[in-house]
A and B are shown apart, each in its own frame.
Chain A
Amino acid sequence: MTAPFRIGLEKRLDPPPYVRWLVPILSILVALGFGAVVIGLAGADPIEAYLQILAGAFGSPAAWLDGEFYAVSETIVRTIPLILTGLAVAVAFRMRFWNIGAEGQLVVGGVFVAWVALFLPELLPGIPQTPWVYLPLMAVAAILGGALWALVPAVLKAALEVDEIITTIMLNFVAILTYQYLFTGPWKDPEGQGFPGSAPFPEFAWLPRIGGRVTLGLFLALAAAVVVWLVFDHTKLGYEIALTGENPEAARYAGVRRAGIILAVMLLSGGLAGLAGFTETAGISHRLQQGLAIGNGFTGIIVAWVAKLRPGWIVLVAFLLSALFVGGDQLQISMGLPASIGAFFQGMILLFVLGGDVFSRYRLRIARRAHVISAEG
Chain B
Amino acid sequence: MLELRGIVKRFPGVLANDGIDFELLPGEIHTLLGENGAGKSTLMKIVYGLYRPDAGEILVDGTRVDIHRPTDAIELGIGMVHQHFMLVDTLTVAENVAMGLRSSRRPLTDLDVVAERIVELGERFGLPVDPHAVIWQLSVGQRQRVEILKALYRDARLLILDEPTAVLTPQEADQLFDTLRTMTEDGRGIIFISHKLREVLALSDRITVLRHGKVVGEVDDPTAVTREDLARMMVGRDVKLAPDKAPARPGPARLRVRGLRVHGDRGTEAVSGIDLEVRGGEIVGIAGVSGNGQRELAEAIAGLRRPVAGEILVGEVDVAGSSPAEIHAAGVRYISEARMREGAIPGFTVAENLLLVDHGDPRFRRGVLFDDRAIEEHGRRLVAEYRVKTPGLDTPVEHLSGGNIQKLIVARELSARPDVLIAAQPTRGVDIGAAEYIHARLVEERDRGTAVLVISEDLDEILALADRIAVIYEGRIVDVVDRAEADREVLGLMMAGGHPGSGGETAAAAGGAAR
Contact = CB atoms under 8 A, between A and B. Distances in A.
Nearest to B155: A375
Contact of A253 (B65, B75, B77, B356): B356
B56 interface: no
Contacts of B325: 255
Contact of B13 (A13, A236, A240, A365): A13
B357 A246 contact: no
A13 B12 contact: yes
B346 A234 contact: no
Contacts, number: 101
A250 B369 contact: no
Nearest to B352: A239
B48 to A, nearest CB: 14
A123 interface: no
Interface string A348-377: 000000000000000101010111111101
Nearest to B52: A367
Interface in B312-348: 323-325, 328, 334, 336, 338, 341-348
Contact of A252 (B12, B75, B324): B324
Interface in B61-93: 61, 63-68, 72, 75-77
Nearest to B326: A255
A41 B409 CA distance: 58
B370 A243 contact: no
A377 B324 contact: no
Contact of A235 (B14, B72, B370): B370
Contacts of A243: 345, 348, 356, 359
A253 B324 contact: yes
B328 A255 contact: yes
A15 B11 CA distance: 10
A373 B372 contact: no
Given A254-B357, A375-B75, A236 B334 contact: no
Given A236-B365, A247-B346, A373 B63 contact: yes
Interface in A105-153: none
Nearest to B324: A255
B384 interface: no
A242 interface: yes
A16 B11 CA distance: 12
B111 interface: no
Nearest to A242: B348
B298 to A, nearest CB: 11
Given A14-B14, A253-B336, A367-B52, A375 B76 contact: yes
Contacts of B75: 372, 374-375
A374 B74 CA distance: 11
B66 A373 contact: yes
B18 to A, nearest CB: 16
Interface residues of A, number: 33
A163 interface: no
A203 interface: no
A12 interface: yes
A9 to B, nearest CB: 12
Contacts of A48: none
Given A236-B365, A372-B66, A250 B341 contact: yes
A63 interface: no
Contact of B342 (A13, A250, A375): A250
A254 B334 CA distance: 11
A249 interface: yes
B121 interface: no
B64 A16 contact: no
A246 B345 contact: yes
Nearest to A238: B370
Interface in B1-21: 11-14
B345 A239 contact: no
B399 interface: yes
Given A254-B324, A254-B359, A246 B66 contact: no
B513 interface: no
B25 to A, nearest CB: 16
Contacts of A234: 369-370, 372
B355 interface: yes
A164 B88 CA distance: 30
A239 B351 CA distance: 12
B345 A247 contact: yes
A175 B504 CA distance: 73
B108 interface: no
A369 B68 CA distance: 8
A254 B356 contact: yes
Contacts of A373: 63-66
A246 B342 CA distance: 11
A223 interface: no
A230 interface: yes
A6 interface: yes
A372 B399 CA distance: 36
Interface string B358-374: 01100001001110100
Contacts of A230: 369
A253 B334 contact: yes
B183 interface: no
Contacts of A375: 60-61, 63, 65, 75-77
Interface in B479-507: none
Contact of A255 (B61, B63, B357): B357
A252 B327 CA distance: 12
> What 6 A-B pairs are tightest by C-beta distance, nearest first?
A255-B325, A370-B66, A249-B342, A247-B345, A234-B369, A13-B11
Given A14-B11, A235-B370, A254-B324, 20 more contacts: A6-B68, A13-B14, A234-B369, A234-B370, A239-B355, A246-B347, A247-B342, A247-B345, A249-B338, A249-B341, A249-B342, A253-B324, A253-B342, A255-B357, A365-B52, A371-B66, A372-B67, A372-B68, A375-B63, A375-B76
Interface of B: 11-14, 52, 60-61, 63-68, 72, 75-77, 302, 304, 323-325, 328, 334, 336, 338, 341-348, 352, 355-357, 359-360, 365, 368-370, 372, 399
30 contacts: A6-B68, A14-B13, A14-B14, A234-B369, A236-B368, A236-B370, A239-B352, A239-B359, A243-B359, A246-B346, A246-B347, A249-B338, A250-B343, A252-B324, A253-B302, A253-B304, A253-B356, A254-B324, A365-B52, A367-B52, A369-B68, A372-B67, A372-B68, A372-B76, A373-B63, A373-B64, A374-B75, A375-B61, A375-B63, A375-B77
Interface of A: 6, 12-16, 230, 234-236, 239-240, 242-243, 246-247, 249-250, 252-255, 363, 365, 367, 369-375, 377
